[in-house]
Chain A
């Protein structure tokens, strides 16, 4: 129980600090790919802290102010369901559904924000966001469902631990599920070529273009946390099955720290590789993305059925 509380605090701290640092690192990497010196690693922290200091202008209804808060809250909530150092702060059976829901909440609030203002670009951005989540969330759902089926667990922590001891004949299917997850992480994380919602050069920041000061800071922060969460999910699904059982034999605290470090490391690696890839691609158009998603979704459904047949 105490461990859970501890890891809750740890999770919150990580969720607040690391997304910003990761973003800074990402910017640095991009800069170097472009032969630039690039901003300091903590640049994003400076940006957010500055935005938090500056006053904001309200150009929408109540939703306009609520949306960023909701986004921020749900982003924070979503990370607490993931294993931090091998222990999810909040874990109960079926929490996988809650996770999905909370995860989607961020995008939804972004949508709401877009529609809450009377601004053609914000609305366009919101439209795109809607199309995106409608086409991607199902895939995420299916991917997690696959894992759930394979492991017969409905809590993320459970899934993570059981994959470690899964029947080796099912491993290929597990890998496929992972690939789905990677794809989702890439899209939902809003990395180029999928950053259509805030495409600066087309719709000038989309839903965010009306925001300023604190609210903007909250929103940006929330989006970064969401990114981080998704990557963290992937990281923990890789780390825990591989190392957690090994360490847990030694001693809880020690293993906790080690696993945490591993997770961070894996997350960082994933993040960097995604960013590096990002630097070499142009933005897709919404119709490209949708058609791509359709195909992926069909594939994932097929595999889902296969798994269902095999496991039940």
Chain B
């Protein structure tokens, strides 16, 4: 039978009824249940493990400094129910008083929560009790203790500093440490993996990232207004930026109760899919390049270029479309652009087909991807992986299907799923998805409805909260917004897909060779600038243990030919 939100609520009521203090529904498919501090983690775990809801997913954990409003801090565990027509987002919220900022950690039982809890500890000072990993995640190592940037009293311009220190995992006996990055081939962004290597085989790996942090969430709270944030949201990531701006706008629209005109929803859908095509072709190209197959790279990007030109004609720029605004979109698709788009798509299809044939006939490339970086289904669930990474491991989840947004409810498309869980499977998922995207765009262009592009914005009443979600090329992307006063948001929490996928990478790396590492890391299509909006990290000292200063200096500045 169908998993409606009410049914889920019933289940929770049955088990935790006496702890529930309050319950409200920001949206038809969203509920926020306020619970006792003691019960909230248990309830979350119950939903994730025992309740038996289909494909439960810890979508995000939002910590907010609500002292100006309620004099308390708050945490919301957002659990989503996916697949089999279950469309529900359950937010389990609890308030913590300033002088007792401790809450039971759920990481020991659900590893997927690892980063969320560490992030909240870093940014708000809410301590997850008996969390397995006491190290910092987000804050830079040269950032002083007991200063929490997301607390309201912190000014977004101040830069306190102390001498940095970071502790990496102890290498096992007889292993060599191969620092991977901050500048390396697998991604054109700074990030840092430490591979613990025997010969060429990787026995363990550790991650230290959060290099790309630009303080976006804080900027949004402090400097920018509602209608300026879509543009900074777009610059969270230059590959999947439109996904972010859409998610943000949807979140605000949900909170404000604006219903977006149909035409706008369709145009958003079209652009989202154009972006997906762009991103997937990009990834395929990079994968070829990492496997030393540059011809594949060149051809993939040659085809991609058509898509970029189309985007440029439709929105005015190849990236950062600057199309979203709260309540709709800013540019229309006139008749001539429509026909232009259709022509481009037909060309794209032809060339893409040739390319895929060429790729699948290149044995040496297939050989590199096959059986490498395997992520079994249960691991994929445990880490709450999303998008192609999850679908490559046989998880049948896709936000577009499970929680239809924009115009996806009215369009028809398939969700490709592969069971092998290796790099090849992830590649296949992406390759198939490009076909689906083309098909979606064609449909959307065909039934593009009339009417206006923008809805009127009514009065904004502050402190309404809402969640919004969309399927980025890399997976489920969740934004949480709490409206504020004075034309500014009170809290805007971004959870990019890579945030869920990355912790699973060390799992994938174990047992494979240095030669595989770039391909494996790239296989989740990591997007660090998405993940690392929060703060900057300095890994120097972590390195010093292994190398001399000069040596380390040099190691930490490499970057691949690309």
Direct A–B contact present (CB less than 8 angstroms): yes
| A interface list, Cβ under 8 A from B | 30, 33-36, 59, 118-121, 124, 127, 192-193, 195-196, 199-204, 209-210, 279-288
Docked-complex contact B185 and A282, CB < 8 angstroms: no
| Interface pair A282/B362, CB less than 8 Å apart | yes
Q: Within 8 Å of chain A (Cβ to Cβ): is B6?
A: no
Known: A282-B364, A282-B365, A283-B368. A199 touches B288 (CB 8 A): no
Task: A193-B364, A200-B561, A281-B293 given; name 20 further pairs at CB < 8 Å.
Answer: A33-B295, A34-B298, A35-B299, A119-B551, A120-B177, A120-B179, A120-B555, A127-B200, A192-B293, A201-B290, A201-B560, A210-B554, A280-B295, A281-B362, A281-B365, A282-B292, A282-B362, A282-B364, A284-B364, A285-B516
- Which chain B residue shows the least CB distance to A192? B292
B548 contacts chain A at the CB level, 8 A cutoff: yes
6 A-B pairs with the lowest CB-CB distances in the bound complex, closest first: A283-B292, A282-B293, A34-B298, A282-B365, A201-B185, A282-B291
23 pairs, CB–CB < 8 Å, chain A vs chain B: A34-B295, A59-B554, A119-B551, A120-B177, A120-B178, A120-B555, A124-B514, A192-B292, A201-B562, A204-B184, A204-B558, A204-B560, A279-B294, A281-B362, A281-B364, A282-B292, A282-B364, A282-B365, A283-B291, A283-B364, A283-B515, A285-B368, A288-B367
> Which of A36, A280, A284 has the most C-beta atoms of chain B within 10 angstroms of its own C-beta?
A280
Closest Cβ neighbor of B200 among chain A residues? A286
Q: A209-B558, A279-B295 are in contact. Are A202 and B185 (CB under 8 A)?
A: yes
Q: Is B214 an interface residue (CB 8 A)?
A: no
- Give per-residue flags for B514-536: 1 if the beta carbon is below 8 A from chain A beta carbons, else 0: 11111000000000000000000
A35 — which chain B residues lie within 8 A by C-beta? 298-299, 302
How far apart are the CA atoms of A155 and B71 in the complex, in Å?
92
A199: which B residues are within 8 A, CB to CB? Answer: 292, 515
- Residues on A with C-beta less than 8 A from B200 are 124, 127, 286-287
CB–CB A203/B514 < 8 A: yes
Asked whether any CB of chain A lies closer than 8 Å to the CB of B304, the reply is no
Residues of B contacting A287 with CB < 8 Å? 200, 513
361-385 of chain B: CB within 8 A of chain A:
362, 364-365, 367-368
Cβ of A119 and Cβ of B555 under 8 Å apart? yes
Cα-based distance from A199 to B514 in the complex (angstroms): 11
Select from chain B the residue with minimum beta-carbon distance to A281: B364
Contacts of A203 in B (CB 8 A): 514
In the complex, what residues of A have CB within 8 A of residue B293's CB?
Answer: 192, 281-283
Which residues of A are found within 8 Å of B561, using beta-carbon distances? 200-201
Q: Is the pair A36, B185 in contact by a Cβ cutoff of 8 Å?
A: no
**Which residues does chain B contribute within 8 Å of A202, judged by CB atoms?**
185, 290, 514-515, 517-518
Q: Chain B: which residue is nearest A285 at the CB level?
A: B515
Does B45 interact with chain A (Cβ within 8 Å)? no
Q: Are A201 and B295 CB-contacts (below 8 A) given A283-B368, A284-B364?
A: no
Contacts of B177 in A (CB 8 A): 120
Q: A34 and B515 in contact (CB under 8 A), knowing A201-B289, A282-B362, A283-B368?
A: no
Give the contacting residue for A118; candidates B292, B514, B551; CB below 8 A. Answer: B551
B199 → chain A closest CB, angstroms: 8
Complex Cα spacing A283 to B518, Å: 13
Taking chain A's interface residues, is the majority helix, strand, or loop, or is none over half, making it mixed? loop
> In the bound complex, how far is the Cα of B289 from the Cα of A283, in angstroms?
10
Tell me, yes or no, whether B20 is within 8 Å of chain A by CB. Answer: no
Q: Which residue of chain A is the closest to B288 with respect to CB atoms?
A: A282
Q: How far, in angstroms, from A127 to B561 measured CA to CA in the complex?
A: 21
CB-CB under 8 A from A36, the residues of chain B are 298
Q: Which of B277-300 contact A (CB under 8 A)?
A: 288-296, 298-299
Asked whether B295 lies within 8 Å of A120 as measured between CB atoms, the reply is no
Across the interface, which residues of A come within 8 angstroms of B288, CB to CB? 282
How many Å lie between the Cα of A124 and that of B289 in the bound state?
A: 20
> B448 interface residue, CB < 8 Å from A?
no
* B190 to A: closest C-beta gap in Å: 15
Residue B176, interface by CB 8 Å: yes
Determine the distance from Cα of A202 to Cα of B177 in the docked complex, in whole angstroms: 15
What CA separation (Å) do A162 and B562 show in the bound complex? 49
Closest to A196 in B: B515
Tell me the nearest residue of chain B to A35, going by C-beta.
B302
**Complex: how many Å from CA A286 to CA B289?**
18
CB contacts (< 8 Å) of A33 on chain B: these are 295
B-chain residues with CB within 8 Å of residue A193 when the two chains form the complex: 292, 364
Measured in the bound complex, the distance between the Cα atoms of B289 and A282 in whole Å is 9
Residues in B with CB closer than 8 Å to A279 are 294-295
| Complex interface: chain B residues within 8 A of A285 (CB) | 368, 513, 515-516
Q: How far is the CA of A247 from the CA of B489 in the complex (A)?
A: 88
Determine which of B176, B184, B299, B516 lies in contact with A120 in the assembled complex, contact meaning CB atoms within 8 Å. B176
Instruction: State the Cβ distance, A282 to closest chain B Cβ, in Å.
Output: 4
**Chain B 253-305 residues near chain A, CB threshold 8 A:** 288-296, 298-299, 302
CB nearest neighbor in B for A203 = B514
Whole-angstrom CA separation of A282 from B518 in the bound complex: 14
Q: Which residue of A lies closest to B366 (CB)?
A: A282
- A280 → chain B, closest Cβ, in Å? 6
A192 to chain B, nearest CB (A): 5
CB distance from B151 to the nearest CB of A (A): 41
Closest residue of chain A to B287 (Cβ to Cβ) is A282
Determine whether the beta carbon of B185 is less than 8 Å from that of A204: yes
CA distance A286 to B516 in the complex (A): 11
Residues from chain B with Cβ under 8 Å of A59 in the complex:
550, 554
Task: Give the chain B neighbours of A196 by CB distance below 8 A.
Answer: 515
Q: Nearest Cβ in chain A — how far from B296, in angstroms?
A: 8
Most B-side CB within 10 Å, residue of A118, A192, A202, A210? A202
How many angstroms from the CA of A201 to the CA of B520 in the assembled complex? Answer: 13
CB distance from A152 to the nearest CB of B (A): 40
Q: How far in angstroms is the closest Cβ of chain B from A247?
A: 40
Interface string of B288-325 (1 = CB under 8 A from A): 11111111101100100000000000000000000000
* Distance between A22 CB and nearest chain B CB, rounded to angstroms: 19
Q: A199-B292, A285-B368, A285-B513 are in contact. Are A280 and B178 (CB under 8 A)?
A: no
Interchain CA distance A43-B283 in the complex, whole Å: 30
Q: How far is the CB of A129 from chain B (nearest CB, A)?
A: 13
Interface bits B163-185 vs A (CB < 8 Å: 1, else 0): 00000000000001111000011
A280 touching B185 by the CB < 8 A rule? Answer: no
Q: How far is the CA of A209 from the CA of B82 in the complex (A)?
A: 48
B372 CB to closest chain A CB (Å) equals 9
Closest to A33 in B: B295
* Cβ < 8 Å to A, chain B residues 536-553: 547-548, 550-551
In the complex, are the beta carbons of A200 and B185 less than 8 A apart? yes
Minimum C-beta distance from B183 to chain A (A) = 9
Query: Nearest-CB distance from B427 to chain A (Å)?
Result: 13
Which parts of B171-208 form the interface with A (CB within 8 Å)? 176-179, 184-185, 200
Which residues of B are found within 8 Å of A284, using beta-carbon distances?
A: 364, 367
